[in-house]
Structure 1
């Protein structure tokens, strides 16, 4: 069974959390990648940013459903969710729009588990970590390439 280390991209393109959204868009476009790990000033991986995060910034604002009882409003969704969405939509730096719920794998993670993670959690970019360091990255294109090559 193939593992992450067999299909990962070893020359990882990262983006600093302080980079602008415009710089991120230019990087993704010029390098023909759909996402990248986000690092802090010390080089530590703190999240992942993808094309979807850029597209999210241009969507319509979703107002949470609510109803009024007497003089109070009862929200059917968490108001915090709307607040988070607005912050992400208004973000000007990569750190504002990236996903900080880091889902990473190890070099030993099997292909089947990689595909399952990506499909079930709707993840496009998986950092590959070993001993706390970034050693590679796996994108959907890496898995598709593996399928096309019949490995």
Structure 2
């Protein structure tokens, strides 16, 4: 991908957002209506506090995994931190965005090179990155789909259709 592309060249400006206090049902409506797979969560000041995606919503359908423990002389010793179960329960049973979202998302600046944003997505296994300005305000979002569109347009060869049709070999039609 061309190093001259910047995030601002490919991002979607002013993306659909939700607030932490919104219902999960609101997220589902936005995803369906806008044909998107995730969106930023912003506070009342327009600062990004999380991201909520289809993966966060699907997490609710997973069975709850109880932490491993040992029972020794009538006492329970947990082999995993109980807070992990607490987080899992909150995410599974949550009805508000703040219960289900992924908090403290990775964000990028509009002037970041696309190659660096793509690298973040791959390394951190995320599909979208909120784009924030110098004041921390949300100005856009960039997704893997945006990057793939840029690759498609960049790698699409220009073909002279008239030349191609005449230069194909006769296959005994």
TM-score, structure 2 as length reference: 0.81
- Structure 1 stretches (4+) deviating beyond 3 angstroms? none
Q: How many residues align?
A: 151
Alignment check: 8 A CA contact 2:106 2:129 kept: yes
Q: C-alpha root-mean-square deviation of aligned residues, in Å?
A: 1.5
- Please state whether the residue corresponding to 1:54 is helix, strand or coil: helix
Deviation at 1:14, TM superposition (A): 0.9
**Matched residue, 2:151:** 147
Deviation at 1:43, TM superposition (A): 2.7
Q: Distance in 1 between matches of 2:129 and 2:14?
A: 14
TM-score, structure 1 as length reference: 0.92
Structure 2 gaps of 5+ residues are: 156-173
Deviation at 1:71, TM superposition (A): 2.6
Alignment check: 8 A CA contact 2:109 2:131 kept: yes
- Map 1:29-44 onto structure 2 (within 5 A): 29-44=32-47
Q: Distance in 2 between matches of 1:25 and 1:106?
A: 27
Deviation at 1:125, TM superposition (A): 1.7
Alignment check: 8 A CA contact 1:50 1:124 kept: no
Structure 1 gaps of 5+ residues are: none
For residues 3-24 of structure 1, give each alpha carbon's deviation from its aligned partner in whole angstroms, at most 9, with x where no partner exists: 2111111131111222211111
- Please state whether the residue corresponding to 1:103 is helix, strand or coil: coil
Q: Distance in 1 between matches of 2:115 and 2:67?
A: 37
Deviation at 1:149, TM superposition (A): 1.3
- Please state whether the residue corresponding to 1:63 is helix, strand or coil: coil
**Matched residue, 2:120:** 117
Deviation at 1:50, TM superposition (A): 0.7
Deviation at 1:53, TM superposition (A): 0.8
Q: Distance in 2 between matches of 1:38 and 1:90?
A: 19
**Matched residue, 2:70:** 67
Structure number with greater CO (CA < 8 Å, separation at least 6) is 1
Aligned counterpart in structure 2 of residue 137 of structure 1, from 137, 141, 160: 141
- Bigger Rg over Cα: 2
Q: Distance in 1 between matches of 2:104 and 2:90?
A: 16
- Map 1:43-122 onto structure 2 (within 5 A): 43-122=46-125
